[in-house]
Copies of this chain bind each other. A is one copy, B any other.
Amino acid sequence: MWPLALVLVLLNCHIVASVSIINTLPGFSGNLPFKLETGYVGVGDLDDVQLFYYFIESERSPKEDPLLLWLSGGPGCSGFSGLVYEIGPIMFNYANSSGNKPTFLLNPYSWTKVANIIFLDQPVGTGFSYAKSWQGYETGDISSAAHTYEFLRKWLKDHSQFLKNPLYIGGDSYSGITVPIVVQEVSNGNEVGHEPPLNLKGYVLGNPFTGPTYDLNSRIKFAHRMALISDTLYESTKINCKGEYVQVDPSNAPCVENLQEVTECTQNIFYDQILEPKCSTTSPNPKIFKWDQNFDGENFLDVLHHPTKPQCRIYNSLFSNIWANDKTVQNALHVQEGTIKGWERCNDSLSSNYANDVSTCIDYHRNLTKKNLRALVYSGDHDMVVPYVGTQEWIKSLNLSDDYQWRPWFVNGEVAGLVATLNFS
């Protein structure tokens, strides 16, 4: 027995050694008013893959509040992106950050007000996560979901005080593919008795990519609803292409021609938020977005102080690139030296080695509706990357019974959206 025991001890040592409690962060004045932990968990063969995470305890009742594992999209977008730009407790103070010294504000709408959240750098090659061998960087939908499940079990073994908290898995954009696979893995693992049993309660998805049939086709319908293409062009395209705008028969000339007109109308739209301007990432200096190349600090400052376009959301990502590539910051986060070349908010180069082996996850959703889980799917209605109209359609295709009709959803007396509740069978 003792060799096994030794391995376990070593494993525990390894995990304990890489867990750090962070009390202060460069750019945040004073002690952090929440509990932040960072660390690595080794997964895969011989723990070849080292997944980096940020864990923030609920600011309400960490013992009772849910534990949420948050996966950013991409694939290749860092956990820090979700933390600082989406649902975490700090956000950049754009007005009061000098070019090379980003500072932070507290986010009054942080989900950590009500939940314990793990922001995970996944798949390997994302954020501060790395592999010890080059083979370790080979990844895809299925293998990264397996790594994430392994991460979760190991992390909870080492943080057993959270084993009883309701567990949710969430993410947005491309994580619409990954999250349901991870949820399925957890559900399967629980059923076959993997240790520890995880207290899985459900999943959360925002503008989730689910597959090209619904999501990409729905962009045409969305463009019409949002007055980006005319009634005439929409009707003509719908008829000529028979509603299929992705898998197009190149010999269908009227359809191809209509789609060219649609492209002309929409190619300069910023798909992430159609009301904001589309700003080039290659102007004024492409190098400033490539952190493994020579960094030209002066031009970077130019962009921050004199952006070529007003309100360019994409320039906000410069703040995280500056911040997370700073050695002081990496030391504060207890990042292991020499493990990554350079940090990127979203590692686009990852996609060339990434196997998109689950083209649609609708079957996962259908299966999960039978597992006594809850699911929250929410959509911003000005997102043309994954338009809400496509999301509505695949949910409809699950043929769930209506609990309530769509009704207005109020926040402080303001209509903030529409909501419907559907029954899982």
Interface residues of A (CB under 8 A from B): 225-233, 261, 264-266, 268-269, 275, 277-278, 381, 388, 392, 405-408, 410, 413-415, 417-418, 420
Contact = CB atoms under 8 A, between A and B. Distances in A.
Given A278-B414, A414-B278, A406 B268 contact: no
Contact of A227 (B231, B261, B268, B381): B381
A230 B418 contact: yes
A363 B345 CA distance: 58
B264 A407 contact: yes
Contacts of A232: 405-406
10 contacts: A226-B381, A227-B417, A227-B418, A230-B405, A230-B418, A231-B392, A232-B405, A265-B407, A265-B415, A266-B415
A231 B218 CA distance: 14
Given A265-B415, A265-B418, A415-B268, A229 B406 contact: yes
A4 B204 CA distance: 83
Main secondary structure of the interface of A (DSSP, over half): mixed
B405 A277 contact: no
Say how many copies of this protein the assembly contains: 2
A264 B408 contact: yes
A233 B265 CA distance: 30
B230 A414 contact: no
A264 B418 CA distance: 11
Contacts of A225: 225-227
Contacts of A414: 268, 277-278
A407 B268 CA distance: 13
Given A268-B413, A413-B268, A228 B407 contact: no
Given A225-B226, A229-B418, A268-B414, 14 more contacts: A225-B225, A226-B381, A228-B408, A228-B415, A228-B418, A229-B406, A230-B418, A264-B408, A265-B407, A265-B415, A268-B408, A269-B415, A277-B414, A278-B414
A275 B405 CA distance: 23
B230 A268 contact: no
A420 B265 contact: no
A406 B265 CA distance: 9
B230 A406 contact: yes
Nearest to A279: B414
Q: Counting chain B CB atoms within 10 Å of each CB, which of A229, A261, A406 scores highest? A: A406
A407 to B, nearest CB: 7
A264 B409 CA distance: 11
A408 B277 CA distance: 14
Pick the 4 closest A-B CB pairs, nearest first.
A230-B406, A225-B225, A227-B381, A268-B415
A328 B91 CA distance: 45
Contacts of A417: 227
Contact of A405 (B226, B233, B408): B233
